[in-house]
Amino acid sequence: MSVARYFDEMSYGPAPEADTEARAWLKRHDATFGHFIEGKFAPPSGGTHLDTIEPATGVNLARIAAGNAADVDAALAAARKAQGPWAKMGGPARARHLYALARAVQRHGRLFAVLESIDVGKPVRETRDLDIPLVARHFYHHAGWAQLQEREFADHVPAGVVGQIIPWNFPLLMLAWKLAPALALGNTVVLKPAEFTSLTALLFAEIATQVGLPAGVLNIVTGDGATGAALVEHPDVDKIAFTGSTEVGRLIREKTAGTGKALTLELGGKSPFIVFDDADLDGAVEGVVDGIWLNQGQVCCAGSRLLLQEGIAEDFLNRLKRRMSRLRVGHPLDKAIDMGAIVAPVQLQRIQSLVQTGLAEGASIYQPDLALPKEGCFFPPTLLSDVQPTATVMQEEIFGPVIVAMTFRTPDEAVALANNTRYGLAASIWSETIGLALDIAPKLQAGVVWVNATNLFDAAVGFGGYRESGFGREGGKEGAYEYLKPKAWANRKPRKVAEQPQLQIAPGGFDTPVLDRTAKLFIGGKQVRPDGNYSRAIVSPSGKLVGEVGEGNRKDIRNAVAAARAAEAWSRATSHNRAQILYYIAENLSARAREFAARISAMTGASSARAKAEVEATIDRLFSYGAWADKFEGRVHAPPLRGVALAMNEPIGVVGVVCPDEAPLLSFISLVAPLIAVGNRVVVVPSELHPLCATDFYQVLETSDAPAGVINIVTGAREDLAKVLADHDDVDALWVFGSKSASALAEKRSIGNLKRTLVDHGLETDWNDPAAAEGPILLRHAVQVKNIWIPYGE
């Protein structure tokens, strides 16, 4: 085209980024790659390779090794061998390695950016301006945590050998999110990149070796889902960290259940993008562009559900459509495009089919009249409006450049619609009224909330989901804990399985008997009879009948969960108020200390001195959590922008608690008190063998102003009730202590709603040791961190 023609048209013309260096790197490897194990490339033991294509053209780009169980085994062996020395070399030495990795990423920034763009199909502008700088930032930030580890995480040791499985949408960035904290804190890694996009990970491994990363610290096994499964199922992995679909996340949860492997999952989302009528509408339109058309919408936290206040909806959609007409879709290496290619034909088909479903279900569609490249996987930016909550496209993650819009009337309705999803990854709020925005942010069920912004990420700020968007955080101090385990739990031993004492029936005498007491269940602040109306005998070690408790069943659990759900006000109560109630419970227990001690002795056969000590320890523990209630605070992160990110410790919601048999009163309170201190409501199954100190506790609760439904107690068979709690989709988290098999079933059956689980795998906790049983060690599991990003300025 001539200068004169451009002068008349004022069009942009092509602006290609050179790919010479990236192609040369591929050529040096004959476009064929092995795994990266113990510091070198190794051919796949099975001899098979997979093709990886260039999405913008559909042409084969390279062949990557297809990993099998033997490859995974070799990689894990290398990681295991390296883990001890890597941990022992100390934080400051590891910090130097992380720092070198950060510098190396910056030095090779353009090569990474171009290779990533070719392999994923995303615009080189994004890899250059977003992905790669954030990769470097993650290594810098975590070099810092390595340096500070011995002081800041003195109570923790590395998790060990970690298996990491990452997705194809941000290949190198997800590598950095996983690798940086793991390596910084003394773990070694076997990483499985996505089969579509393994190349930058292999380049990274090569460069990491060049800058001196020791052999075995980072190992990469490429391949498809089968390779990932081999990694997940391998017995010699201490932790699995996965980012990907909720569907695969469920499988991984199921496979790792009961193995003792730690797990973090960062899964899908259907994140709301809420625009109030007092928002900067043009600013919010740009937010939509950054929210749903970043990386062709293939972003787990994409703002894909547009919720518009009715008064501005039409105006907003008009502005949005105009903006969409200005978007440019083209070759990923063109520096002046907004959207590149969809990663693979299978994803393109999925997007097309979901959009068709949306249309069939009544949505209106807007797609601007844009020129799309003729070859390759491309899909235009798409707006589906007039979409109702019942529509498939409002519920399902599309994972493409498609936003669905609907309206709301009031802030309450916005919150209700925003939370009307199984997911809970991110949310974006647009309003110029500080009171409104900061009122809405805590009400949203999402791990990340952006106020007047979207898709902001930083290594200092935790990222991760609520609900079925997964659990665990990446980034920030909250993310560092995911690659550590408490020292105090490191040497727990399997508990001896307590013998069920045999009831010796003996007739009574002619003295005036003690007045008969019926221990019922405690649900919604009331003592209620068990639904089944069966009782269970509670027998002392010497075979004496100490009492009878109700045999709780699934309907009792259902009722208890409903009561706990209804007690939502507890989660909003002030921390001061919650502290007062914990202190008051301690006060009332103290008044009846002798009675509780006698009960413990009668049930467990403990000496009266020991029983008395347990009651005193329990009172002390309640006091501790009264103290913690208004002190287990969040953090204010300082990401690199003018603004703050508030890391708020929020209650998880309704938590099931299954208690062990040892120290029946102390363990019961040690588990319940941290949960309620931070605002959860609980459904507790007390010790199966010694539940009477829990049923006696009803009266303490009734006199302590604990609101109805905050603590619900259902006595009965541990495993049966644990199963019902694990299966219940309105239970947000489940803590199971006291049994290996109950732990395993809790994890396995938690997949319905991906509830957070904390289990002891049958290892006995010393409840008298505050280091193991009190404070942050449990409080951290009682909350989920929500990061609220608040950029500011006028």
Partner 1 sequence: MAELKIAPISRLEPGHNVPARNEACPLDLGWVREVRVNLSAAERRAATLPGRRTVKKDAQAAWLLKAVTCIDLTTLSGDDTAGRVRRLCAKARSPIRRDVLEALGMTDRRITTGAICVYHRFVRTAVEALEGSDVPVAAVSTGFPAGLVPHDVKLKEIEASVRDGAKEIDIVITREHVLTGNWQALYDEMRNFRTACGDAHVKAILATGDLKTLRNVARASLVCMMAGADFIKTSTGKESVNATLLVTLIMLRMIRAYHTRTGFMVGYKPAGGISAAKDVLNYQIMIKEELGRDWLEPDYFRVGASSLLADIERQLEHHVTGRYSAFNRHPVG
- Footprint of partner 1 on this chain (CB under 8 A)? 1-7, 9-15, 125, 128-129, 278-284, 286-287, 290, 326, 335-336, 338, 430, 432, 452-453, 641-643, 791-794
Shortest gap between Cβ of 407 and partner 1 (angstroms)?
19
Task: Please state the closest distance from residue 116 (CB atom) to partner 1, in A.
Answer: 16
* Cβ neighbours around 423 below 10 Å, total: 28
Closest to partner 1 by CB, 125 vs 270, is 125
Burial (Cβ within 10 Å: 0-12, 13-18, ≥19) of residue 514: exposed
* Residue with Cβ nearer partner 1 (371 or 515): 371
Catalytic residue check, 300 = yes
Q: Catalytic residue among 17, 195, 266, 688, which?
A: 266
One-letter amino acid for residue 397 of the chain: E
Residues 231-262 as b or e (16 or more Cβ within 10 Å = b) = bbbbeebbbbbbbbebebbbbbbebbbbbbbb
Write down the catalytic residue from 300, 301, 377, 693.
Answer: 300
Residue 282 burial class via C-beta count within 10 angstroms: exposed 0-12, middle 13-18, buried 19 and up? exposed
CB closer to partner 1 out of 150 and 314: 314
In the bound state with partner 1, the residue whose beta carbon lies nearer, of 776 and 791, is 791
As measured in angstroms, the least distance from the Cβ of 330 to partner 1 is 12
Cβ closest to partner 1, residue 12 vs residue 534: 12
- Alpha-carbon gap, residue 532 to 716, rounded angstroms: 11
Residue number with CB closer to partner 1 (193 or 287): 287
Round to whole Å and give the CA distance between 735 and 724.
13
Least CB distance to partner 1 at residue 755 (A): 36
Closest CA to 725 of 668, 773, 659, 649: 659
Give the integer Cα–Cα distance in Å for 708 and 724.
22
The percent helix, strand, coil of the chain (3-state, each to 5) is 45, 20, 35
CA distance 34 to 42: 5
Q: Looking at beta carbons only, is 128 or 142 nearer to partner 1?
A: 128
Reduce the secondary structure of 624-690 to three states and give it as a string.
Answer: HHHHHHCCCCCEEECCCCCEEEEEEEEECCEEEEECCCCCHHHHHHHHHHHHHHCCCEEEEECCCCC
Q: How far apart are CA 417 and CA 274, in angstroms?
A: 10
Smallest separation, CB 57 to partner 1 (Å)? 22
- Nearest approach in angstroms of CB 180 to partner 1 is 25
DSSP letters of 466-513? Answer: SGGGEE--BSHHHHHGGGEEEGGGTT--BPPPPP-PPP------SSPP
Closest to 767 in 3D by CA, of 541, 600, 627: 600
What one-character-per-residue DSSP string does 114-161 give? HHHHHHH---HHHIIIIIHHHHHHHHHHHHHHHHHHHHHTTTEEE--E
**Alpha carbons 711 and 507: distance in angstroms, whole number:** 37
Q: What is the dihedral of CA 614, 617, 623, 626, to 10 degrees?
A: -70
Beta bridge partners of 243: 266
Least distance CB 642 / partner 1 (angstroms): 7
Two structure tokens written together for 707: 């609101």
Q: Would you say 332 or 691 has its CB closer to partner 1?
A: 332
Q: Are strands 218-220 and 535-539 parallel, antiparallel or unpaired?
A: unpaired
CB 432, CB 278: distance < 8 Å: yes
Shortest Å, Cβ 577 to partner 1:
35
According to DSSP, the β-strands at 711-713 and 382-385 are unpaired
715 closest CA partner among 501, 531, 585: 531
Q: Please say which residue, 280 or 630, places its beta carbon nearer to partner 1.
A: 280
| DSSP-assigned letter for residue 517 | -
Size of the chain, expressed as the number of residues it contains? 794
CB-neighbour burial class of residue 575 (10 A; exposed 0-12, middle 13-18, buried 19+): middle
Known catalytic residue: 266?
A: yes
End-to-end CA distance of the chain: 44
Q: Which residue(s) pair with 654 in the sheet?
A: 681
Within 10 angstroms of residue 732's Cβ, the number of other Cβ atoms is 24
- Least distance in angstroms from the C-beta of 272 to partner 1: 18
**Is 470 exposed, middle or buried, given 0-12, 13-18 or 19+ CB atoms closer than 10 A?**
buried
Residue 157 is encoded by which pair of tokens?
A: 């040791």
Distance CA 303, CA 307 (A): 10
Q: Return the number of the residue (252 or 284) whose C-beta is nearest partner 1.
A: 284
**The pair of three-digit structure tokens given for residue 592, joined into one six-digit string:** 């009846």
Nearest distance in Å: CB 6, partner 1: 3
- The nearest distance, CB 246 to partner 1, in angstroms, is 30
Nearer to partner 1, 589 or 788 (CB): 788
Instruction: With H, G, I as helix, E, B as strand and everything else as coil, classify residue 303.
Output: strand
CB of 113 vs partner 1, minimal distance in Å: 12
**Residue 15 C-beta: closest distance to partner 1, Å:** 5
Q: Which is nearer to partner 1, 287 or 651 (CB)?
A: 287
Catalytic residues: 266, 300
